[in-house]
Amino acid sequence: DAGVIQSPRHEVTEMGQEVTLRCKPISGHNSLFWYRQTMMRGLELLIYFNNNVPIDDSGMPEDRFSAKMPNASFSTLKIQPSEPRDSAVYFCASSLIMGLAIHEQYFGPGTRLTVT
Amino acid sequence: GQQLNQSPQSMFIQEGEDVSMNCTSSSIFNTWLWYKQDPGEGPVLLIALYKAGELTSNGRLTAQFGITRKDSFLNISASIPSDVGIYFCAGQLVAGGTSYGKLTFGQGTILTVHP
């Protein structure tokens, strides 16, 4: 079975450029999560969706960050304009949530972003 | 908000030794999860715990959900070099409807195993 798919795996860009990260969740999952990981701050939840609807974006650091989920099989995280302090590994994770039942979250391999 | 304290931050052990790490929370959780992250990869789920007091094993891994619902530990027995990585605990709270699966993560434990 295919897991969570992220692209690109690595991205190097110059400050000021727009960056778009992509995620395909596990088929059948209805919740999708975007995380950022750095040495200093660990794993931070940026935003999550349920049934393609953004539920909580309080973790998005600034207005430069935006995320969309146009359908159940695709999500994007966009940074515009990018800054060096955005350099991090960005993970996408998905889960199947049904009422009060608790389901595990599965992570993609991550996108390593370097902004110079 | 909820805070998870994971300890130790790092461990250096000899192959064959047992390992123990734990997480404590300022508030209760309904679920505790333990993940392992290899270099350059995403976290991979190791064990999920759903009931207070539950003790679950997965091969050489054993994890327990604390009776107070505010803590969990993970033990690795007879460590081997491929156990190297970062181990994360994560808690999930479902209250008043659904949490939509939101997890709160610990800071991670970096494990180094010397052959």
Q: What pLDDT is stored for residue A100 in this prediction?
A: 63
Residue B106 has pLDDT above 80, yes or no: yes
Q: What is the per-residue pLDDT across A17-51, written as a single tens digit (0 to 9) for each?
A: 999 999 999 999 999 999 999 988 889 999 999 99
Q: What pLDDT is stored for residue B98 in this prediction?
A: 59
Identify the CA nearest to A67 among candidates A109, A104, A19: A19
Residue A10 has pLDDT above 60, yes or no: yes
Distance CA B55, CA A54 (A): 35
User: Mean of the per-residue pLDDT values for chain B?
Assistant: 91
Per-window interface: B 62-81 vs A, CB < 8 A: none
Kindly state whether A8 is in contact with chain B, defined as any CB-CB distance less than 8 angstroms. Answer: no
Q: What pLDDT is stored for residue A76 in this prediction?
A: 98
Parallel, antiparallel, or unpaired for β B10-14 and B61-65? unpaired
Query: In this complex, do A109 and B41 lie within 8 Å of one another by their Cβ atoms?
Result: yes
- Under 8 Å CB pairs connecting chains A and B tally to 61
Higher pLDDT, B80 or A101: B80
Buried b (16+ CB within 10 A) or exposed e, A33-45: bbbbbeeeebbeb
Query: In this complex, do B45 and A104 lie within 8 Å of one another by their Cβ atoms?
Result: yes
Query: In this complex, do A56 and B30 lie within 8 Å of one another by their Cβ atoms?
Result: no
Distance CA B91, CA B52 (A): 12
Average of pLDDT values for A46-71? 94
Q: What is the per-residue pLDDT across B36-58, written as a single tens digit (0 to 9) for each?
A: 999 889 999 999 998 999 999 99
- Which residues touch A30 (CB under 8 Å, ≥6 apart)? A50, A51, A72, A95, A96, A97
Distance CA A36, CA A44 (A): 5
* Adjacent-strand bridge partners of B51: none
Q: Between the CA of residue A70 and those of A63, A103, B32, what are the distances in Å?
A: 19, 23, 31
* Adjacent-strand bridge partners of A74: A71
What string of DSSP letters covers B71-98? EEEEEE-S--GGG-EEEEEEEE---SS-
